[in-house]
């Protein structure tokens, strides 16, 4: 029995030493790379290759650029009309706008937007309980218009039902919300 225990102890010791560098075994290259990747760059040896520096943060082209043309905001996206159509449709859904209708051939989404509800959502629940305010709470119908500007650039603008430009502050808020969702 004592001899069996000695043999087991000897086998366990040999097994542990085989996986350890004390036994003279060398580590495989994949293990060495994994250990180097776990070390912070400043602790790497002077002769080793420094870790690449991350690129500076730039806004993704899908997020687009909000610009003003003739006092009206519009969102320029670097993508084809069909890519932007799909992305804007998903963003409208995530934002919780009421989608009344859409016309892909004309590049139009008809949405109901209530600036007052958006303001209350930003201010908090208690502001919505202010029943003494006489502000109208009728959501208006707006058209989110997509137009291909040539190549891979698509412009997104907001108009009212009649096709007239929407109030600048409402249009800018809708486009800002869309831009945040498209990031």
Q: What is the pLDDT of residues 85-135, one digit of tens each?
A: 999 999 999 988 899 999 999 999 999 988 776 655 555 666 556 666 655
Residue 10 within a domain: no
Q: At a CB cut-off of 8 Å and minimum separation 6, what does 107 contact?
A: 81, 85, 145, 146, 147, 148
Query: Number of structural domains, the chain?
Result: 1
Look up the domain containing 171 and give its range: 65-182
Residue 14 within a domain: no
| CA-based nearest residue to 162, from 183, 134, 141 | 141
Q: What is the pLDDT of residues 142-177, one digit of tens each?
A: 999 999 977 789 999 999 988 899 999 999 999 999
Residue 5 within a domain: no
The CA-atom distances, in angstroms, between 57 and each of 53, 54, 60, 181 are: 12, 9, 9, 18
Residue 29 within a domain: no
Residue 74 within a domain: yes
| CA-based nearest residue to 109, from 98, 96, 94, 118 | 98
pTM assigned to the model: 0.58
d(CA 36, CA 43): 10
Residue 55 within a domain: no
CATH number, domain with residue 173:
3.30.310.170
Band (18; pLDDT cuts 50, 70, 90): low
CA–chain centroid gap for 70, Å, is 30
């Amino acid at each position: 029995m004592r001899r069996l225990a000695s043999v087991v102890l000897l086998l366990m010791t040999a097994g542990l030493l085989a996986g350890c560098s004390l036994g003279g075994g060398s580590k495989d290259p994949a293990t060495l790379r994994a250990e180097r990747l776990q070390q912070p760059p400043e602790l790497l040896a002077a002769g080793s290759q420094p870790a690449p520096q991350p690129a500076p943060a730039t806004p993704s082209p899908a997020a687009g650029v909000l610009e003003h043309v003739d006092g009206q905001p519009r969102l320029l996206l670097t993508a084809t009309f069909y890519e932007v159509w799909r992305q804007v449709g998903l963003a409208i859904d995530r934002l919780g706008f009421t989608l009344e209708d859409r016309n892909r051939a004309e590049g139009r989404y008809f949405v109901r937007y209530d600036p007052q509800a958006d303001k209350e959502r930003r201010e908090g629940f208690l502001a919505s309980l202010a029943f003494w305010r006489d502000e109208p709470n009728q959501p208006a119908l707006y058209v989110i218009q997509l137009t291909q500007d040539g190549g891979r650039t698509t412009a997104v603008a907001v108009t009212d039902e009649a096709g007239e430009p929407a109030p600048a502050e409402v249009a800018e808020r809708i486009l800002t919300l869309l831009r945040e969702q498209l990031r």
